[in-house]
Amino acid sequence: MPKGLLIDTVRCTGCRGCQSACKQWNLLPGWGEAPSDEYDTSFSPTMTNPPQLNAYTYNHVEFYEIPKDNGEISWHFIHTRCLHCIDPACVSVCPVGALQKFDNGPVVWDQTRCFGCRYCQNACPFDMPKFQWEQAWPKIQKCTFCWNRLEEGMEPACAKTCPPNAIEFGERDELLARAHERIRNNPDKYYDYVYGEHEAGGTSIMYINAVAPEKLGLNTDVKKESYPDYTWEFLSKIPVEIAAIAALLGGTWYFRKKRLEGKASVTSGKEAK
Ligand code: SF4
Ligand code: SF4
Ligand code: SF4
């Protein structure tokens, strides 16, 4: 059964425990360790830290101040990350099959295959894959849904860490039913919408909030249908020259891999003797 995460931003206190746990589990650079100031710890005017989701921060806690009808200000906290679409556009456009959707939910990528064409970044309706701009051979990076923890029967690091249980891990269907029930039972606390139930054909990561999702930066212009249905429409807009370079690089990657595999089998053959 596909797994999911239900993110309840009404419960979130903005402690950034999920962001820190994510960095720790994924061995991502922490304070003063990121390759550029843009990715490092520095408060933005909106109190986010670092300023944006980036290739070294897979989970990014954001703060919102929203005026109430009575003129008071309400605080809201939300963390953004890859939503692990049920039918992901990023997987469908990758020319070298570097991205893959697992049956239990995660959309993962293979660093050794990615050659940095950024098709996935352009295809993603949620603008989630981030690029290592400062690297000589840049690769795409994003939340992994902690697939390696799931394989060991553990929940994702962010869900395990969250003190007020604002990130719940479980079967997607059960989480969806729980989300609707919570909204139904608390109409004064929740805005009546489960973000991710239908966006892009449905996502593994879903949100419930106190306010309309667009007020917390969630993209509500996303189509409700699965995006790979639009893949060919998207690919047809890519200039022929870029497509040719991607195909060339994809071919180069394939032959390089074959050559390395050939070398590896020769090496292991020598060792066996
Ligand atoms: S949110 Fe974007 S990067 Fe994540 S699975 Fe969906 S299409 Fe891929
Ligand atoms: S699921 Fe894992 S990789 Fe994704 S945000 Fe949570 S801790 Fe980070
Ligand atoms: S750990 Fe939980 S409460 Fe803290 S910022 Fe993340 S989602 Fe919010």
Residue 121 lies in a domain: no
For the Cβ of 85 lying below 6 angstroms from any atom of ligand 1, the answer is yes
Write down the pLDDT at residue 61.
Answer: 95
41 pLDDT tier (thresholds 50, 70, 90):
low
Ligand positioned closest to the Cα atom of 108: 1
Residue with CA nearest ligand 1 atom 5: 84
Residue 112 lies in a domain: no
Residue 107 lies in a domain: no
Asked whether residue 173 falls in the same domain as residue 66, the answer is: yes
pTM: 0.84
* Residue 272 alpha carbon to ligand 3 centre in Å: 52
Tokens at 129, concatenated: 């894959």
Asked whether residue 70 falls in the same domain as residue 168, the answer is: yes
Give per-residue pLDDT as tens, 225-234.
888 766 655 5
Average pLDDT (7-19) is: 97
Q: Locate the ligand 1 atom nearest the alpha carbon of residue 91 and give its number.
A: 8
Contact 187, 177 (CB under 8 A): no
Residue 216 lies in a domain: yes
Give per-residue pLDDT as tens, 162-174.
999 999 999 999 9
Give per-residue pLDDT as tens, 150-161.
999 999 999 999
State what percent of residues in the chain have pLDDT above 70: 80
Cα gap 236→100, rounded to integer Å: 22
Asked whether residue 153 falls in the same domain as residue 260, the answer is: no
Asked whether residue 199 falls in the same domain as residue 273, the answer is: no
Asked whether residue 52 falls in the same domain as residue 170, the answer is: yes
Give per-residue pLDDT as tens, 78-90.
999 999 999 999 9
User: The domain that contains 7 carries what CATH number?
Assistant: 3.30.70.20
Asked whether residue 23 falls in the same domain as residue 76, the answer is: yes
Asked whether residue 183 falls in the same domain as residue 218, the answer is: yes
Pairwise pLDDT comparison (258 vs 45), residue with the higher score: 45
Write down the pLDDT at residue 177.
Answer: 98
Give per-residue pLDDT as tens, 110-150.
989 998 899 999 999 999 999 988 787 888 999 999 999 99
Asked whether residue 208 falls in the same domain as residue 254, the answer is: no
Pairwise pLDDT comparison (38 vs 104), residue with the higher score: 104
Which residue range(s) make up the domain with 257? 239-273
For tokens 């996502």, name the residue.
203
Residue 133 lies in a domain: no
Q: Which residues pair with 170 in a beta bridge?
A: 4
Cα gap 62→216, rounded to integer Å: 9
Residue 223 has pLDDT above 80, yes or no: yes
Q: Which of 5, 10, 18 most suits a substitution to test ligand 3, by most atoms within 8 Å of the C-beta?
A: 18
Residue 135 lies in a domain: no
* Residue 122 alpha carbon to ligand 3 centre in Å: 29
Domain count for the chain: 2
Q: What is the DSSP letter of 227?
A: G
Write down the pLDDT at residue 211.
Answer: 97
Write down the pLDDT at residue 114.
Answer: 92
* Residue 271 alpha carbon to ligand 1 centre in Å: 42
Pocket of ligand 3, beta carbon within 6 A: 12-18, 61, 77, 79, 161-164, 166-167
Tokens at 72, concatenated: 């008071």
State what percent of residues in the chain have pLDDT above 90: 67
Residue 172 lies in a domain: yes
Q: Locate the ligand 1 atom nearest the alpha carbon of residue 203 and give its number.
A: 6
- Cα dist. 273→266, 269, 270 in Å? 11, 7, 5
Ligand positioned closest to the Cα atom of 226: 1
Q: String of b and e for 99-115 (b: at least 16 CB within 10 Å)?
A: bbbeeebbbbbeeebbb
Asked whether residue 269 falls in the same domain as residue 154, the answer is: no
Residue 57 has pLDDT above 70, yes or no: yes
Ligand positioned closest to the Cα atom of 16: 3
